[in-house]
Structure formats: structure tokens, C-alpha cells
Chains A and B, each alone.
Chain A
């Protein structure tokens, strides 16, 4: 009696042990699927950062753009995937008491100009036409690769614009403007050609919310520093340099981004809370109705960072002169038994494949 009990126990533990990896496999599969559902599905990241104002007293707009550039580079987007447009040169401006620097903080704590800044469109090249050409891809064929937005349907694009704006327009270079309808049409052209997977649009100008009012293409999330009728204010002046160094909204966004590293899990809802009215004086706004996913599932690094999908390479091909014949007993890639000449190297301690291998043997 005791023997059979013992046997029964042993048998059930054996069954339990056999089922355990199966259960964990199933659980990890479900976990994988759930994780993938909330993931973005993008494989590369691009950023288009535009500063539209010129003249020395608009130092803060260049500093805004450069601080976003710095964050985006730090979080992993390479220069080849960033289109940086600066309408004026502040670092080498004759009025800059500290040449080759652009500071974002009083007491000159943070030099956002850094060691390697790659400006793609500079000075008078920053025009509405060039900006729209970059977005829609209708660029003359002589343009070099660094000046193009070579995104595809699996790219997440961050677009940051700053400068002087008004209700429904953004001023470029003191001579022309881009209206919110043109911008919405440009995004629609990008969508029609599937040049983006998801788009994050951030604007730091006066009455910035008016610029995203007219968007109608899907998968766009927009943030602005102020509502219609409000002005976006600058942060603080620096007495040594003599101009205002940054705008409030971008200052607090930069502070927020400095805490993010490539592996962090902070989501968009936290970005929406940055710079409340008490700090910013203006009311930042955001628009998420065109976006498919819930903002709380959208990671900051989905747009500001560049995390790639990688796969371990498990196969090699044989380059020996005579590769022999290989048998297949079951139409399943993992299960093909190799002989030495085929040189298929299976992972040595891959639990799932060992288990399935056992199952395969039973079937035969």
C-alpha cells in the first residue's frame, strides 16, 4: 500500500516536473504576447528638430533645440537619424561672450552645444519650403544623405519646433510663416506614403496649441507649451550673456529628460505633467485623440531613444567544400537533426528546445 502511494506520489511529481516547463513556456508566451501588444512596433527612430528664429536675442530658441538634440543623442538616436535645423548660429555669434558654447542654465552649468553637434540645415537654409520638403521627402536628388528624412513605415519620428508663433502659424526667419493647415497636410502626405509609424510633435511657441488643432492623420501625439491666447514665457536671463537662456517649457522638459536613461520605463503621462501652470505660467496642452495606443503604455524612449530589436544568431552555414545531405524527420526548423558536416549549432542549454526534442522523440 505504502509502495503504491509512494509510486503514485513519484509519478505525480514526475508529471508535475514534466508539465512545469510546459507551463512556464505557455506563461512566457502569453507574457510575450501581452508585452508585444503594448509595444510600439517600430524598428528605428528619427528626430526632426527645428529652431525657426534668428537674431541674437532669440538665443533661447537655439538653446531649446540644442537641449532636445542633446537628450535625443544621449538616449541613443545617432546623428544620421537626426535632422537638426538651426536658423541662426549662436555659438559663433560675434555677440556671444563665451564663443563656441550655448548654455541652457544660468551660471553656465550646462553647455548644450557639446563636442559634436551636427547641424544639417543652418542659417538661411531653414525655410518653410525646406522643412516641408524634409517632411514629405520631395527633395531634389542632389541633396546629401544627412539632409534627408529617410524614414519608413516602422519609424517613430519626434518633431520638435520652437520659435515665435501665433494663432495658427509659426514664424520662420522673420520673413515667412507656416500655417497649421500646411503642417497638417504635410503630415497627411507622410501618412499616405507611410513615412512614419508614430509621430510625436512638440512645439514650444506662443499659442502653440493652435498648431496641432488641425491634424487629421492617425498616430500623431502632440504637445504644446501654451494654449491659444497664451504666451509661452522664457525662463530666466543670464546677466553675463545678456539674453534669456531658455524657454520655461523646454527647460522643464530638459530637466525631466535628464533623468531618463535608455532603459527607463517612464511613460508619456509623466511627460504631460511636466511644467504645470505654477511653474510655466502658460498652460501646456497635449492631444492624443489621433494616437492609437494609450499614452500610459507609450514609453518616453519610444520617441526620444532608439532601442533596436535584436535577435541572437543561432545558425551558421557551412563553407566547407562538401556539405553533406541532411535528413528531416519533422517539418519543424528546430527539430532537424544535424550531422557534423551541416554544422547547425543548437543552443546548448535551451530548455524549451530540449523539452520539445523529447516530445518529438516520443512521437516517432
Chain B
């Protein structure tokens, strides 16, 4: 009677053991990996090795130079050797992790007939007009013409000439080492027109560590896809001055050609506005010697801030009550609001001082009045003070009609725009004749310098962004990377590599476009809203969540496993005891 009962309980016990083992197996084999997989943060695969490879990228900037020799410029036996190519490469010594090499590829050739004709004309301007007919040279390339030593194209003591449209002229020499000497002169001229160390240092100013304390003068605008330019006329005293400015005409005649020349650099949009009763934040001082008012140099930084808050006012049409109880009206001019745009804004202000403070001059730090009566702030814009001609007050009653001389104003504003973009005077080689920019205000090779600087800056920014993203993902473990973010990263890496290739082969325009794409993709990947790191839970909170779920389930399983293990060990030991 006891035996079948015992057999039944044995079977029960065995079944029980098997059930417990099965439970444990399911938990450990299926459950644990499933829980691990479903609670990890999703990270689409990223090209980490390629990103770290970008840091050791070697940038080679190639400048294709065509050197054209006229008949009398070099000895005859040297002329027989034409055409051939010489490469001059040197490393730019910057303390930056990317090595940058500058490579001038000079293609020497003989002059064609029409070029000989042009270069034998009387003056350099006529020669230039002859050369103006053929199509524009590609961005980044230069042409240097070598004329004979005694040619009268250039004044006698001048050795070289740099023109506004990627063209230069250099004197030849009748010497054994003609090619070497001329080659050096050509390099000097080409460097002045293209890449020098300071152009690249200014472009990389934000990335080079030691330049943090250096002069703020080298702070051009950061590279961006577009810029918004706003011209504002500030009239604090409409009762005395009825100011009119033909801003539309001025923009069309002077600013638009300049921006058209710069259109490779980005999109530009131009607005204008007129603000009444907008005062500067600083009270001008009276100078009895010249019976005029002045703003000292050290008070200039305080001028901008109170004005800046009013520059965007016409966007919201608020009625604002300044301290003296007058209402400030805003009148929108040409163009729309800038509230929606995320492009950097450049503000150019023209201030017509009040009658009580006229004439108003700006003094530099030595106390002398500034000729332009204007100052600018890097990465912000410029302010110019326009004094009303005292003759306009004679006999007429207030308000006096003032018509602003837009040529004078635009000369200053365009110069400030050039400085803000970092287009500075190049370092010219000695005894070089230099022609100023034509009506656009910018020379073609200045645009090239800007494009080079911007391309290098874009590549540096894109590389830094990608590297930062990789480092961040390593440091903060709970950031999710979705698939579209990963594809942006891949696109950015590919664009950086393409830009480097294009720079090495001398195609500046496509290199710039590729570098812009690299920056856009990398910024889009880094600033994607989905990359916000998930909430952080400290460890004790994590335990507090898991324990009520897992502990009740784990305790019976673990206890039964333990019991099974003990029993199995006992059953192993038992046969030993019995002989």
C-alpha cells in the first residue's frame, strides 16, 4: 500500500525537479537576454573608425597657376623647354591637428598670339581690357604673365602687378637661372593672391588653442549657409531732422553687386528699417575747442547694447515707453522680419544725431576724430554717424529736410562688410603695383581667399562636430542614435572626404560646396532633437524598480535550483558510502 504511494511521490518529485529546471532554463536562456536587449538604448551603427581617421586627415590645398611666357621674357634656350609643370609645395606651420600643405602647381607655357598682342600695348589697363573677353577663370586658379625685363607695360621700378581678376604680371629676366628666379617671383605673387598663413590662421582661429588670447581683430564671421544684412536709419530727433535715404537705390547700385560677387559664399538677404526716437545709450561729451560733440573710444562698446534691443522691434510692433515718456514708433522698411531666420544677422546702423548734439564725431583712443565717423564690432555689424550739413539749417524752419548722401555711407558700410567677412589687405610683395577692386568692391582672388578659408574652416568644424559626437556617445551611455541620424553622419563623413579630395585636385568651387554639405550634415546629426539624453536614474532607483518585479519570481526558482543541487550532490556522495 505504501509502495505505489511512494512511487507516485517519486514521480511527483522528479516532475517537480524537471519543471523547476525548465523554468530556470527559460528564465536564463530566454528571459535574461530578452530583458537586456529590450532595455538597452538603440544605437544605429556609426563609422567610428572613419571619424577618428578624419582627425589625422592631411589637407592639401592646390592652387593651379598658369604661367605664360612672352617672347622676350626669358633666354631662348629656356624657351625651348616650354611647356612643363613645376610643383612647389610647403607645409603651413599651424599648431592644428590637421596638417595643411599648400601646393602651387605651375604650368609653364608660351604665350598665344592674342596674349602677345595684349601685353605689348601701352599700359596695363588696356592689357586688362583685352584679357577681359575670355570667360571667367575657375575659382582658385591664377594666371601669371611674364613680360620682358624692359617692357614698358609696367612702370620702370615695378617688378610685378596684381590685377583684380585673378591675373598678375611679372617681369622676366635674361639669366641662366631664369626659370628659378621667375619661379620664385611667381610664387610670391601667387601667395599674395591666394593662400598665406594668416588667411588660414584666421579661418581656424576658433580651433587653434593658443589664439584664444590673441587679438580680437582676427574674428571674421563664422561660416554659415547664409547671412541677413539689415540697414537701419536711426533718427532720434524727427522734430528737427526729416531724414530721407534712398536705401533701395543704394542697395541696388552698390550693395547688390558686392553680394552678387560673394554669392558663392552663401545666400544673402537684405532688409532695411527706419527707427525714430532711438537714442544711443551714451551721452556725447562737448568739446569746446572744436565746438562739437564727441564719443570717446572707450564708451563705444556701451553704445551698441541699448540700440540692439530696439533693432528687432518692428517684428513685434510693440509700443515701447522709454524713460522720458515718449512713445517709440517703429516703421518697417524694405524687407521682412528676421525672427524666423536662423542665419547670422549683420546690422549696419546710420545714426543722425539730434540737433542738440550736432555735429557728433567719434574719437579714437588718441583723441583724434575718426575720418569715417564709424566703428564696427566683429560678428555684429557697424555703426556710422552722419552729421547733417550745417548749411542746411540756414534760414529754414525745423524740421530740416536731410537727404542722405548714400555714396559716402555705402563706402563705409561696404568697407565694414569687407572687414566683417575677413577680407583684409593682402601682404603684397615688394615693388608690386596693385589695382584696387573694381566697382563691385571685391576682387576675384579675394573671393578665392575667402572660399579657401571657409572650406578649411568648414572642414575643421565638421571634423570637430563628428569627433565630439563620437566622444559624447562614449561618455554618456543613454543617448539614442536613430537610423536617420546615422545616415547623416555617414553623409557628413563622405562629404569631408570628398572636400579634401577636391581641395587636393584644385577644384575650389566644388570643394567649398562639399565642405558646406559636410558642416550641414554634421550639425544636423549632432543637433537632432532625438539625441536628448534619456533621464538619468541612479542605481538605487533602478534596483527599486526591478526588485518588486523580479524578486518574487526569482526566489522560488533560485531556491528550488539550490535544493536540486544539494540533493544531486547528496545522491553522488551516497554510492561512495556503500561499499
Contact = CB atoms under 8 A, between A and B. Distances in A.
Interface of A: 36-37, 39, 41, 43-44, 76-80, 115-116, 128-129, 132-133, 136-140, 144-146, 148, 150, 152-154, 179, 181-182, 185-186, 188-189, 192-194, 262-263, 306-319, 321, 323-331, 333, 336, 342-343, 345-351
B427 A331 contact: yes
A193 B297 contact: no
Nearest to B533: A185
Given A41-B212, A316-B412, A318-B411, A310 B300 contact: yes
B123 to A, nearest CB: 9
A188 B411 contact: no
B29 to A, nearest CB: 35
Given A179-B538, A313-B376, A327-B434, A321 B415 contact: no
A188 B475 contact: yes
27 contacts: A80-B312, A145-B339, A182-B533, A182-B535, A185-B476, A185-B536, A188-B476, A189-B472, A193-B465, A194-B464, A309-B219, A311-B377, A312-B362, A312-B374, A313-B374, A313-B416, A313-B419, A317-B414, A317-B441, A318-B436, A319-B254, A323-B435, A324-B436, A328-B432, A331-B427, A336-B425, A342-B436
B472 A192 contact: yes
B380 interface: yes
B433 interface: yes
B216 interface: yes
A350 B364 contact: yes
A59 B298 CA distance: 41
Nearest to B363: A312
B216 A309 contact: yes
A111 to B, nearest CB: 14
Given A43-B216, A313-B374, A179 B414 contact: no
B536 A309 contact: no
Contacts of B124: 325
B566 to A, nearest CB: 44
B305 A76 contact: yes
A311 B427 CA distance: 21
B379 A350 contact: no
A327 B430 contact: no
Interface string B317-357: 01011000000000000000011111000000000000000
A325 B125 CA distance: 9
Given A138-B532, A313-B419, 11 more contacts: A136-B531, A145-B339, A179-B538, A182-B535, A193-B465, A313-B370, A315-B419, A326-B435, A329-B430, A348-B368, A350-B368
B213 interface: yes
Contacts of B125: 325
B532 A133 contact: yes
B339 A330 contact: no
Contacts of A152: 222
Which of A115, A263, A313 gathers the greatest number of chain B CB atoms within 10 Å? A313
Contacts of B321: 115
B465 A132 contact: no
B53 interface: no
A319 B437 CA distance: 9
A263 B305 CA distance: 13
Interface in B364-380: 364, 366, 368-372, 374-380
B371 A345 contact: yes
A189 to B, nearest CB: 6
A39 B411 CA distance: 33
B536 A317 contact: no
B377 A310 contact: yes
A331 B309 CA distance: 42
Interface in B405-432: 407, 410-412, 414-416, 418-419, 424-425, 427-432
B305 A313 contact: no
A145 B425 contact: no
B532 A132 contact: yes
A76 B302 CA distance: 8
A117 to B, nearest CB: 12
Given A43-B378, A347-B371, A323 B529 contact: no
Nearest to A148: B342
B260 interface: no
Contact of B468 (A145, A150, A192, A306): A192
B359 interface: no
Given A136-B532, A138-B532, A316 B527 contact: no
Contacts of A76: 302, 305-306
Nearest to A261: B302
Contacts of A36: 213-215
A314 B527 contact: no
